[in-house]
């Protein structure tokens, strides 16, 4: 087999299986075109051996003239040139001719085939009507076909086919063609199956021998590739690819085994040093040069790999899987690099880089060549790896050849460049004419610094763009960092900065401490070269604080800061503001005083705990705190609020500390700060809506990408504020430091700590916000005087303690300052030698105690104050006594309002309603203070501890007066010397005291009674006005009793008895006792006790002939239903107004129960005629009386007040109720207490039960 011939075959892309044609060549030529055309038209199912799935296959074939040389000899494994089918063509239709020539030809042909043991043959007999007509001696029964079959196809009758009139267009012709093609295809496939199967078997046998010595991979490679070629020829690309993949895997396995120490001899041939590195060749379907090298066992590892990949690539492109090419290419390139290492192949410096670079570009261009633009863009995820790999390799080549320097390559670099380019050899002819090829690109890139930059940037940009397109930002940033390196090397730091910043922001947001530190270091270098002092300082501070860096580097950066700060300070450069985060951390803050509230002029100390992140001590010029002052009006209120707000008693505020170690991105995300919101309507303060507000939403919702990294000091502004606190020079040690700020408070208001800054030369490290909010309060206070009782309430009449509290505020009490008290006589101040004043600080620390000097002159009492500095407290107690006023004009339950005396219900709300309340007295004190020209008016309320009431008691005509004193206070008293005096003008009245003891104890909330008998020497007036007085002292304690007694004025009207009522119940006649259910006689005798008096002169009185009579009405009422009054229970009598005039009335009553029954009530009223009044008023009065009748009768008690109230009630009703009845009625008027004396009140009479009553009713109550 000549190589030339094979080459010829291979280069014609139209490789087809070979079929030979023998016999009548002219005949064959006539049908050749139809044959070529029709054969592939219909697919044929190809059943495969070894369980491979059957495939539909379109058969094609090349038909060549039969030559003996075409048939391969035994042992030749060439498959491509293997004739799969031998066809003999004949159109012999004459027996004679057949016998003479055709048979011999066929025999000869057959013999050759037999000699080569080829059994794939076919005899085609072409029948033609034209020929038949010419020949007359046709034997119709025995056709030529039959003869041939007989002669040659002894068992395989199907090896001979008839083609009838192949060139005619008839149904018969078509039929015969179809049959022919079916046969042809079947036979071809049979041949394929048989021959390929045999080939594969041979190949496998060969492969099994690979462990034997002398086995050659190259040889085997050629054999298996032959199979691949055939599959490719049959358009079975998948199968062809499998062959190459198997070869690939086999080789790889050998390399791996070599690595494991199991080296094969043949492998050494691949370990030749790399001399040529011109990259992959993918433009040709078959790289014959490389194939030849493999065949000759001269191929290097790169040659073999290149060739294998170029074949795989060709097949993958044919299979329309270009992306797999890209994927496999990357694997291949990585793998080759590893294999060269593993096989310890010596590789010149830069050679592999060149090879990889060229290969990447070649693969990319190959893919570009078979895809359109849109496809490429959509699939850049597959190619981007190659792009970045090429970039990486070009970069390393650039560094190698000295192209990435500011100066450009030196001679050594140029020598190296020449060496590297030498290995490329000459450009391949197939790309020589194209404007750009990997070869040209590399040559150009290495030719000059500028060209290199251009190509490198092109590649980098392309790769970065692709990475970004497919969302691989980290990869893009890593490439960007390479670019930054490149620019830094080139001396163009301004271009590098952006890339570094971008990468850094990602590392920061994702929290990779090592990467942050490294990138920052690069950035620092970049900024240093760019003379960006501020940024450089900032980055340096962050680096100096970075615990990921070794101490040496941290110290270096720290010293850089110090150097620059000092240096720039000399140049009078403006202040540089840097964030404090990278320098130090504010850990805690402590206020002294702890409440963080100071008065004007007071001292305030702030103790800051600052954690320095610097590795070495840093001498700072000063620390300063910038304050914001909000002056608020209501200082007092605010200060209490602030003091109570989230501040512990120690005054320490701890700031949330950021972790000093590896920074976590979680902490960079600020916590949500939520606040309550209440929206109230401005008019009525009602709640419109309420909700929660996120205060730092701008921080939380900010876009991640645009987050300003702390590398850029954007937005850091030092607030100019008039209020700053400043320290002196501080040496900030690494770690925790304590910094003290001392200040004296000046202006009042709330000071908010806004910014903290540390000044170092021209550099100010500033903490732009201090959070949580820290405030302190400076307040100014007016002097204040407060007077309040020591006890809950003050009692009048006894000595009480009153506490004076003076807040000096801004006023300093000097010697001679005194309080001037103007007091009324009723409120004397009790002097006491032991009175002392206590001076203490505002916070309650006791300072001193000084005796008070109290001087009284007239109404003015002067109290000299002890010396006290501003913002101090003076406290002292005074004893005062409030005299109970001698006249309490109205009883406490009077509804009449009074200026001085008012009904106080304080403390008695829970008490029973009938318990009277203490009457209170307001006492006003006017105090002149030394600090003010205005007087302070202070009102003290005293309560009178007693209340008194009286009642008139009668016995016939004798009268007694009882006074009840009620102690309303909590204190017990001794009462003594009770006196009753007449203060009216009736001097003929005597009070005979019936009080046995002179001193009486009255406990808290108890009552005590005093009794006098009234005697008179002559008839007195209708009213009596007298005053009760009793002296008292408190039982407990040493309080002084009042010098004045408690007095009570009382007035009695019409207290003398006018009538005496006597009732008698008599049992019925014949009975000793009253009996239940039987009527008894009730005899009521009403007797006039006095002659005509002033009292009787009213409307009921009628006078005739010197005799006066008055009209009375009696009424018998039994409230307890013990009696049934039979007949008239009431009646009107006319009573002569003469002493001892008696009127008797008889009635019948029936006891309803047995036992001692009280007598029924007998009531007596004045009967007033109706005409005495104006008509309308009288009507109403009577009417209303009737209405109120039952009420008044049911309430026999309190008659003294009842009578008056009844009247008043009647009159009030008169105005409201209008006309009610047309019929006028006479009026009834009750008598005053004491005017009617009922002798038989409370008398009882025994009533016996009736005999036949066998029912016993027992009621238990």
Partner 1 sequence: MLASCDSLTHDADDHVRRRKMAVCVAVIAKENYPLYIKTVPTENELKFHYTVHTSLDVVEEKISAVGKALVDQRELYLGLLYPTEDYKVYGYVTNTKVKFVIVVDSSNIALRDNEIRSMFRKLHNSYTDVMCNPFYNPGEVIQSKVFDNMVSGMMVQVC
What residues line the site for partner 1 (CB under 8 A)?
Answer: 252, 255-256, 259-261, 330-331, 333-334, 337-338, 341-342, 344, 381, 385, 389, 467, 470-475, 478, 507, 510-512, 514-515, 518, 661-662, 664-666
Cα separation of 1213 and 1195, whole Å? Answer: 19
| Beta strand pairing call for 160-164 and 121-127 | parallel
Taking the least distance from each CB to partner 1, the nearer of 257 and 855 is 257
Give min distance, CB of 471 to partner 1, in A. 7
Cα separation of 923 and 939, whole Å? Answer: 5
Q: Copy the structure tokens of residue 48.
A: 């495969």
Taking the least distance from each CB to partner 1, the nearer of 389 and 536 is 389
| Beta strand pairing call for 836-841 and 935-944 | unpaired
Taking the least distance from each CB to partner 1, the nearer of 70 and 345 is 345
Cα separation of 220 and 224, whole Å? Answer: 6
Taking the least distance from each CB to partner 1, the nearer of 470 and 1133 is 470
Taking the least distance from each CB to partner 1, the nearer of 78 and 337 is 337
CA torsion through residues 539, 541, 545, 551, sign: positive
Give min distance, CB of 274 to partner 1, in A. 16
Give min distance, CB of 668 to partner 1, in A. 10
Helical segments of 209-321, H only: 217-233, 237-259, 288-295, 301-318
The residues near 1027 (Cβ < 8 Å, ≥ 6 apart) are: 980, 981, 983, 1047, 1048, 1049, 1050
Cα separation of 1051 and 361, whole Å? Answer: 131
702 phi/psi in degrees, rounded to 5: -75, 145
Taking the least distance from each CB to partner 1, the nearer of 97 and 342 is 342
Taking the least distance from each CB to partner 1, the nearer of 524 and 1086 is 524
Give min distance, CB of 510 to partner 1, in A. 4
Taking the least distance from each CB to partner 1, the nearer of 548 and 884 is 548
DSSP secondary structure code for residue 98 in this structure: I
Helix-then-strand count for the chain, H and E: 29, 56
CB hemisphere CA count around 886 (13 angstroms)? 3
Q: How far is CA 373 from the centre of its chain?
A: 49
Do 1125 and 1147 touch, CB atoms closer than 8 A?
A: yes
| Beta strand pairing call for 818-822 and 794-795 | unpaired
Q: At what angle do helices 380-400 and 449-469 cross, to 10 degrees?
A: 150
Report the candidate in 522, 520, 519 with the shortest Cα–Cα distance to residue 538.
Answer: 520
The residues near 462 (Cβ < 8 Å, ≥ 6 apart) are: 387
Taking the least distance from each CB to partner 1, the nearer of 350 and 595 is 350
Taking the least distance from each CB to partner 1, the nearer of 16 and 481 is 481
Taking the least distance from each CB to partner 1, the nearer of 480 and 978 is 480
Report the candidate in 1134, 1210, 1201 with the shortest Cα–Cα distance to residue 1166.
Answer: 1134
Taking the least distance from each CB to partner 1, the nearer of 162 and 342 is 342
The residues near 99 (Cβ < 8 Å, ≥ 6 apart) are: none
Cα separation of 184 and 177, whole Å? Answer: 10
Distances in whole angstroms, Cα of residue 466 to Cα of each of 289, 459, 681: 36, 11, 58
442 phi/psi in degrees, rounded to 5: -65, -45
Distances in whole angstroms, Cα of residue 1174 to Cα of each of 266, 1213, 1214: 156, 16, 13
Write out 11-68 in H/E/C secondary structure: HCCCCCCEEEEEECHHHHHHHHHHHHHHHHHCEEEECCCCCCCCEEEECCCEEEECCH
Per the rule left: phi > 0, alpha: psi between -120 and 50, beta: everything else, 954 is beta
Do 523 and 501 touch, CB atoms closer than 8 A?
A: yes
1126 phi/psi in degrees, rounded to 5: -100, 135
Give min distance, CB of 356 to partner 1, in A. 8
Q: How far is CA 451 from the centre of its chain?
A: 57
Taking the least distance from each CB to partner 1, the nearer of 194 and 472 is 472
Give min distance, CB of 361 to partner 1, in A. 17
Taking the least distance from each CB to partner 1, the nearer of 519 and 808 is 519
Taking the least distance from each CB to partner 1, the nearer of 308 and 1011 is 308
Taking the least distance from each CB to partner 1, the nearer of 237 and 557 is 557
Give min distance, CB of 664 to partner 1, in A. 6
Give min distance, CB of 352 to partner 1, in A. 9
Q: Copy the structure tokens of residue 915.
A: 């318990």
Q: Copy the structure tokens of residue 455.
A: 């190509």
Give min distance, CB of 765 to partner 1, in A. 27
Give min distance, CB of 304 to partner 1, in A. 17
Do 1220 and 1179 touch, CB atoms closer than 8 A?
A: yes
Give min distance, CB of 482 to partner 1, in A. 11
Taking the least distance from each CB to partner 1, the nearer of 148 and 333 is 333
Largest Cα separation within the chain, whole Å, is 207
The residues near 94 (Cβ < 8 Å, ≥ 6 apart) are: 135, 137, 138, 144
Give min distance, CB of 513 to partner 1, in A. 8
Give min distance, CB of 511 to partner 1, in A. 3
Q: How far is CA 545 from the centre of its chain?
A: 31
Give min distance, CB of 261 to partner 1, in A. 4
> Could you count the other beta carbons within 10 Å of the beta carbon of residue 628?
16
Give min distance, CB of 747 to partner 1, in A. 47
Give min distance, CB of 475 to partner 1, in A. 5
Taking the least distance from each CB to partner 1, the nearer of 662 and 1068 is 662
Give min distance, CB of 769 to partner 1, in A. 25
Give min distance, CB of 340 to partner 1, in A. 9
């Amino acid at each position: 087999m000549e190589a030339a011939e094979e080459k010829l075959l291979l280069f014609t892309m139209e490789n087809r299986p070979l079929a030979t044609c023998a016999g009548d060549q002219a005949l064959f030529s006539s049908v050749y075109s139809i044959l070529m055309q029709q054969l592939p038209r219909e697919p044929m199912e190809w059943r495969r051996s070894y369980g491979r799935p059957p495939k539909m296959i379109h058969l094609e074939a090349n038909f060549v003239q039969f030559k003996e040389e075409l048939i391969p000899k035994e042992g030749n494994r060439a498959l491509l040139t293997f004739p799969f089918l031998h066809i003999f063509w004949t159109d012999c239709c004459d027996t004679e001719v057949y016998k003479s020539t055709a048979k011999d030809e066929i025999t000869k042909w057959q013999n050759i085939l037999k000699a080569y043991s080829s059994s794939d043959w076919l005899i085609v007999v072409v029948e033609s009507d034209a020929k038949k007509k010419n020949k007359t001696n046709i034997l119709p029964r025995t056709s030529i076909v039959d003869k041939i079959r007989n002669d040659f196809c002894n068992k395989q009758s199907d090896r001979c086919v008839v083609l009838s009139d192949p060139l005619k267009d008839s149904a018969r012709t078509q039929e015969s063609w179809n049959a022919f093609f079916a046969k042809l295809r079947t036979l071809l496939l049979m041949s394929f199956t048989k021959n390929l199967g045999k080939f594969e078997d041979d190949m496998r046998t060969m492969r099994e021998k690979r462990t034997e010595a002398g086995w050659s991979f190259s040889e085997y490679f050629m054999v298996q590739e032959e199979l691949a070629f055939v599959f490719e020829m049959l358009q079975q690309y998948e199968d062809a690819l499998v062959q190459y993949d198997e070869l690939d895997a086999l080789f790889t396995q050998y390399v791996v085994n070599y690595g494991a120490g199991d080296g094969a001899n043949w492998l050494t041939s691949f370990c030749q040093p790399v001399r040529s590195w011109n990259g992959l060749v993918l433009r040709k379907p078959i790289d014959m040069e490389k194939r030849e090298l493999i065949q000759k066992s001269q191929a290097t590892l790169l040659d073999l790999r290149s060739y294998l990949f170029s074949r795989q690539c060709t097949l993958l492109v044919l299979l329309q899987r270009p992306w797999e090419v890209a994927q496999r290419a990357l694997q291949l390139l990585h793998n080759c690099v590893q294999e060269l290492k593993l096989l310890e192949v010596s590789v010149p410096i830069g050679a592999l880089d060149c090879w990889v670079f060229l290969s990447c570009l070649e693969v990319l261009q190959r893919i570009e060549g078979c895809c359109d633009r849109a496809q490429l863009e959509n699939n850049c995820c597959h190619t981007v790896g190659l792009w970045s790999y090429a970039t990486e390799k070009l970069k390393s080549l650039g560094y190698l050849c000295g192209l990435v320097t500011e100066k450009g390559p030196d001679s050594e670099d140029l020598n190296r460049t020449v060496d590297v380019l030498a290995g490329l050899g000459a450009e391949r002819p197939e790309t020589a004419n194209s404007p750009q090829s990997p070869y040209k690109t590399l040559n150009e890139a290495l030719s000059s610094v500028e060209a290199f930059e251009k190509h490198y940037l092109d590649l980098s940009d392309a790769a970065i763009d692709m990475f970004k397109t497919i969302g691989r930002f980290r990869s893009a940033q890593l490439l960007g960092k390479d670019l930054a390196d490149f620019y830094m090397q080139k001396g163009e730091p301004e271009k590098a900065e952006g890339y570094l910043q971008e990468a850094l922001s990602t590392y920061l947001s994702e929290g990779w401490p090592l990467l942050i530190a490294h990138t920052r270091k690069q950035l620092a270098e970049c900024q240093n070269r760019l003379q960006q002092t501020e940024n450089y300082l900032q980055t340096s501070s962050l680096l100096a604080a970075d615990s990921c860096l070794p101490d040496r580097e941290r110290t270096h950066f720290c010293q850089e800061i110090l150097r620059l700060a000092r240096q720039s300070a000399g140049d009078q450069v403006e202040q540089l503001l840097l964030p404090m985060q990278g320098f130090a951390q504010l850990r805690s803050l402590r206020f002294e005083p702890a409440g963080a509230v100071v008065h004007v002029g007071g001292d305030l100390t702030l103790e800051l705990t600052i954690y320095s992140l610097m590795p070495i001590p840093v001498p700072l010029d000063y620390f300063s705190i910038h304050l914001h002052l909000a002056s608020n009006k209501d200082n007092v209120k605010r200060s209490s609020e602030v003091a109570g707000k989230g501040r512990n008693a120690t005054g320490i505020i701890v700031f949330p500390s950021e972790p000093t170690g590896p920074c976590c991105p979680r902490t960079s995300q600020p916590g949500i700060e939520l606040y309550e919101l209440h929206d109230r309507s401005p008019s009525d303060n009602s709640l419109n809506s309420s909700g929660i507000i996120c205060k730092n939403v701008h921080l939380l919702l900010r876009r991640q990408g645009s987050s300003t990294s702390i590398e850029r000091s954007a937005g850091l502004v030092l607030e100019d504020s008039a209020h700053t606190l400043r320290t002196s020079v501080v040496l900030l040690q690494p770690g925790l430091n304590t910094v003290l700020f001392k200040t004296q408070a000046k202006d009042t208001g709330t000071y908010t700590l806004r910014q903290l800054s540390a000044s170092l030369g021209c550099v100010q490290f500033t903490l732009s916000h201090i959070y949580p909010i820290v405030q302190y309060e400076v307040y100014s206070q007016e002097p204040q005087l407060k007077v309040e009782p020591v006890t809950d309430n003050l009692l009048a009449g006894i000595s009480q303690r009153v506490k004076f509290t003076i807040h000096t505020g801004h006023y300093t009490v000097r010697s001679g300052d005194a309080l001037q008290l103007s007091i009324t006589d009723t409120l004397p101040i009790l002097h006491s030698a032991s009175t002392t004043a206590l001076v203490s600080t505002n916070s309650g620390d006791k300072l001193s105690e000084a005796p008070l000097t109290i001087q009284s002159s007239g109404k003015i009492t002067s109290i000299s104050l002890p010396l006290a500095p501003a913002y101090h407290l003076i406290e002292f107690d005074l004893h005062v006594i409030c005299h109970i006023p001698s006249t309490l004009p109205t009883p406490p339950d009077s509804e009449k309002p009074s200026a001085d005396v008012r009904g106080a219900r304080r403390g008695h709300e829970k008490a029973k309603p009938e318990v009277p309340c203490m009457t209170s007295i307001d006492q006003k004190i006017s105090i002149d203070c030394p600090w003010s020209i205005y007087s302070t008016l202070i009102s003290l309320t005293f309560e009178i501890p007693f209340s008194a009431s009286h009642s008139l008691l009668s016995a016939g005509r004798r009268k007694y007066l009882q006074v009840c004193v009620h102690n309303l206070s909590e204190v017990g008293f001794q009462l003594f010397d009770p006196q009753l005096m007449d203060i009216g003008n009736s001097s003929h009245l005597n009070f005979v005291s019936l009080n046995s003891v002179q001193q009486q104890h009255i406990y808290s909330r108890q009552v005590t009674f005093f009794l006098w008998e009234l005697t008179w020497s002559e008839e007195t007036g209708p009213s009596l006005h007298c005053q009760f007085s009793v002296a008292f002292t408190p039982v407990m304690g040493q309080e002084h009793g009042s010098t004045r007694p408690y007095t009570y004025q009382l007035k009695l009207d019409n207290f003398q008895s006018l009538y005496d009522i006597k009732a008698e119940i008599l049992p019925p006649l014949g009975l000793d006792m009253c009996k239940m259910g039987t009527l008894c006689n009730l005899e009521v005798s009403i007797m006039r006790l006095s002659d005509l008096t002033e009292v009787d002169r009213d409307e009921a009185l009628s006078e005739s002939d010197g005799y006066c009579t008055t009209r009375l009405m009696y009424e018998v009422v039994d409230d307890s239903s013990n009696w049934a009054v039979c007949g008239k229970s009431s009646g009107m009598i006319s009573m002569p107004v003469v002493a001892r005039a008696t009127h008797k009335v008889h009635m019948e009553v029936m006891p309803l129960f047995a036992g001692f029954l009280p007598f029924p009530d007998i009531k007596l009223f004045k009967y007033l005629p109706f005409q005495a009044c104006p008509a309308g008023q009288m009507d109403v009065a009577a009417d209303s009386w009737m209405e109120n009748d039952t009420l008044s009768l049911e309430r026999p008690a309190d008659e003294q007040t009842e009578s008056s109230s009844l009247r008043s009630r009647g009159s009030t009703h008169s105005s409201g109720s209008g006309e009610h009845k047309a019929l006028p009625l006479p009026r009834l008027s009750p008598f005053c207490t004491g005017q009617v004396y009922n002798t038989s009140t409370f008398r009882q009479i025994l009533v016996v039960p009736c005999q036949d009553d066998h029912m016993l009713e027992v009621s238990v109550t």
